[in-house]
Amino acid sequence: MGKRIAGVLATAGVFVLTNAGLALAQTSYPPTPSATTSVAGNSGGSNDPTAFTGGRIGFAVVAIVVLLALGIAASVVSRRRSARVAG
């Protein structure tokens, strides 16, 4: 059971680091100052539902998180059933 949890955590960690690397690669750092100093969302001009980072959560990311949660739940349920059957 410990190896499975370690494997799931390692996979999730690699996934998070990969997505963070992709997000950082899409923007230039340090940001250059612009002529306007308005913050999106505070001026009321745009109703775009993005965070301050400008990132959007894609369907694939949500699907992977849901499938990961279902896999962990299935692993826990199967472990409990096998312990109940054996005992």
Closest by Cα among 64, 52, 59 to 16: 64
How many domains does the structure of the chain reveal? Answer: 1
Q: Which domain holds residue 66?
A: 2-86
- H helices of the chain, in order, are 2-25, 59-86
Residue-wise pLDDT for 20-67, tens only, equals: 776 666 656 666 666 665 555 555 455 555 545 656 677 888 889 999
Compute the distance between CA of residue 27 and CA of residue 30 in angstroms, rounded to an integer.
9
- H helices of 26-58, in order, are none
Taking the whole predicted model, whether its pTM rises above 0.85 is answered as no
Closest by Cα among 15, 30, 3 to 63: 15
